[in-house]
Amino acid sequence: MAATAPTLRKALRRRPPSLTYERALWDAGHEVVVGMDEVGRGAWAGPLTLAAVVLPRDRRVYKVRDSKLLTPAERAALYDRITEWCTAWAVGHASAEECDELGMSEAQRLAARRALEGLGVRPDRVLLDGKWDFVGGGIAQRIVGGDARCLSISAASIVAKVTRDRIMVAEDANYPWWWFAHNKGYPCPRHKAVLRGLGPSAIHRRSWVFMDGLPWSGVPRLIRPDPQGTLFD
């Protein structure tokens, strides 16, 4: 049984994401409209994760919001409801090693392709958050602030975030010193302190600029001609 939808805090009750973009595409004859969002671009360790969701026209799950606005408990409750509600959904990843070898832009394209291939249906149009088309093929519609405005992108943001967080919690058992269950691979004071003391784990992104000056113990340093940055999601 799916978890009960959380009671929304007052600050989240205004301006919920809508089906405006999806309905416009459905009315134009596009049957399969996919919402996509990513998480992990600004992390120092772990995968880059993209979720793709196809929402039904005749049913609705309420209280969906951009994942960044929700608490972990709220996201977990909505994740179960969203994945049961969707007509189709899938998640694609690019590993930390692939992020290093390909660079973040190509890694994002790879994870997006894997997510779309996992849907089991061919998309007519794809709705993306932001200004960059990482899908290609002339089927993407970019929406600035889409994770807060477009329901399918908001739903995808929750699926991506919960999935990746669970991966990092599981990795904590393999790499306990880096505290991944708490920081999910993102920078924080304790994460930085451990890196200064022990160096990176096997799932850290070894080409990123934050690696400069760190101790290295068995994991080879990777130097890219275009070093990766430290942007947050």
Write down the pLDDT at residue 107: 96
Digit-by-digit pLDDT tens for the chain (233 residues) are: 455 555 665 555 567 899 999 999 999 999 999 999 999 999 999 999 999 999 999 887 778 888 988 989 989 999 999 999 999 999 999 999 999 999 999 999 999 999 999 999 999 999 999 999 999 999 999 999 999 999 999 999 999 999 999 999 999 999 999 999 999 999 998 998 888 888 889 999 888 776 776 665 556 666 666 656 544 34
153 forms bridges with which residues in the sheet?
none
Write down the pLDDT at residue 204: 93
Write down the pLDDT at residue 62: 77
51 forms bridges with which residues in the sheet?
37, 91
Q: Show Cβ contacts of residue 58 under 8 Å, excluding neighbours closer than 6 positions.
A: none
* Two structure tokens written together for 179: 């505290």
Asked if residues 177 and 195 have their Cβ atoms less than 8 Å apart, the reply is no
**Domains defined for the chain, CATH in brackets:** 14-171 (3.30.420.10)
Write down the pLDDT at residue 3: 55
For 1-5, which contacts have Cβ atoms below 8 Å and span 24 or more sequence positions? 2/80, 2/81, 2/84, 3/76, 3/77, 3/78, 3/80, 3/81, 4/77, 5/61, 5/62, 5/63, 5/77, 5/78, 5/81
- Give the Cβ contact number of residue 26 at 10 Å: 16
Write down the pLDDT at residue 220: 61
